[in-house]
Copies of this chain bind each other. A is one copy, B any other.
Amino acid sequence: MAAHLPTTEKGRATRLRILEAAARLISERGAGAVSLEDIEREAEVGRSQLYHYFYDRDDLVRTVIDVTTDAVLGAQDGLLDDLDSFAAIDRWFDALVALQDERGAIGGCPIGSLVGQLAERDEPTRTALAAGFARWEQPLIDGLARMRDRGELKPEVSVQVLADVTMAAIQGGLLLTQVRRDPQQLRHSLDGARTVLAAAAVV
């Protein structure tokens, strides 16, 4: 049985409904507690429809990771496009903290939350998670590279390492924000990343 991409509007809607149902159930109960039967019931589709669009349960879970990444990047829409100045990075950091304020520090990072339950499942699932983080990080790597090329960052700095440190600060800050119900945890973590970035600047 092969997975198909939908060719009709109705097909696209059905596939999306399955993915949204799966993402919702996995977020609520954890991936291990969600069966195909649960997803079929939630999405109001039959097994044959599900297998038309997804090769198997693992294929569905990995596609959920992809659409979760789409949603996370969508929530940062416009902020990731030009991360090539400290002003733009500050706006991005402020927006990430503001989002946690709005959400009452509930839920953590939608992608990060999947790591603990899915990263050790199998290699393709781990790779899907890694691909999600890579997509998120790339605009920052690109922006920092432009800053370095313009002589605003020291020529010897690794923009990859600076971006990795920043992504770790976002994930760690969001995790502590969730556990402590305190958006200041993310604020302080991002202030720390900002100190590291500033140390790489040409002054």
Contact = CB atoms under 8 A, between A and B. Distances in A.
Contacts of A29: 32
Contacts of A107: 120
A112 B175 contact: yes
Interface stretch (A15-23, A39-47, A50-58, A181-189): A181-189
A141 interface: no
A116 interface: yes
A73 to B, nearest CB: 16
A114 interface: yes
Contact of A171 (B30, B129, B172): B172
- For the side of the interface on A, what is the size category? 35 or more
Interface in A172-202: 172-173, 175-176, 178-181, 185, 188-189, 191-193, 195-196, 199
Contact of A168 (B33, B130, B173): B173
Interface stretch (A87-95, A143-151, A159-167): A159-167
B165 A168 contact: no
Contact of A192 (B114, B130, B169): B169
A85 interface: no
A175 B170 CA distance: 11
29 contacts: A30-B32, A32-B32, A32-B33, A33-B33, A106-B120, A112-B175, A113-B116, A115-B175, A116-B116, A119-B178, A126-B181, A130-B180, A133-B179, A161-B188, A164-B185, A164-B188, A165-B191, A165-B192, A167-B172, A168-B169, A168-B175, A169-B169, A169-B172, A169-B192, A170-B172, A171-B171, A171-B175, A171-B176, A192-B192
